[in-house]
Amino acid sequence: MKVYDGTTADSEPATPPERVKVGIAESKVTDGDAVLTTSGLGSCLGVAVYDGSAAVAGLVHAMLPSIDEMEGTNEAKFADSGIRHLVAELEKRGGDREHMEAKLAGGSDMLDFSENGSGIGVRNVEMGRRTLAEFDIPVVGEDVGGDHGRSLRLESANGDLIVKSANRDPITL
């Protein structure tokens, strides 16, 4: 009986994919076999975009809905400009909008500002959906809202987005 021992048929140890951390208000793109990770998503929105035909994937960790609402030059800080930048970077690496799919996570209502209208989390999710629709990129999975934080792991090899939260099992989108 053969027991899997982490080696390949050529008896070389299997190498795990590179892990690339995406910080708050950052985005990263890979065209290799990497895992993009981010944590600390409360009201922030994590947007994963994947094009399987070109083998490219990207992740943005946006804090606020729109760059138009605030001054700033960091595009990844905002859901609208962060997604636009992410799509442009994916296209530079061979991605095609016609083959891209998106997954969303985050947008929690961590603080109650209901007397002032929708909270940041809700507005981040709405802006994320609206911006992806501008590019005709379908949202094929999401884990948004609630009142809990999340951590994400985007596997670039297959486009799976694993969402971890406290007090529940991880889910795969």
What's 147's domain CATH number?
Answer: 3.30.1330.200
Is residue 10 included in any domain, yes or no? no
Is residue 55 included in any domain, yes or no? yes
Number of domains in the chain: 1
Is residue 87 included in any domain, yes or no? yes
Give pTM, 2 decimals: 0.87
Helix pair angle (79-92, 120-134), 10° resolution: 40
As a residue count, the chain comes to 173
Q: What is the pLDDT of residues 39-83, one digit of tens each?
A: 999 999 999 999 999 999 999 999 999 987 666 678 999 999 999
Is residue 164 included in any domain, yes or no? yes
Write out the two tokens for 154.
């985007």
Is residue 49 included in any domain, yes or no? yes
Whole-number Å distance between alpha carbons of 149 and 145: 10
Burial of 12 (0-12, 13-18, 19+ CB in 10 A): exposed
Strands 150-155 and 160-164 turn out to be antiparallel
Residue 1 has pLDDT above 70, yes or no: no
Write out the two tokens for 36.
């993009």
Is residue 12 included in any domain, yes or no? no
What pLDDT is recorded for position 149? 93
Is residue 61 included in any domain, yes or no? yes
Burial of 101 (0-12, 13-18, 19+ CB in 10 A): middle
Is residue 53 included in any domain, yes or no? yes
Residue 114 has pLDDT above 70, yes or no: no
DSSP secondary structure code for residue 75 in this structure: G
For residue 51, give its domain range: 18-172
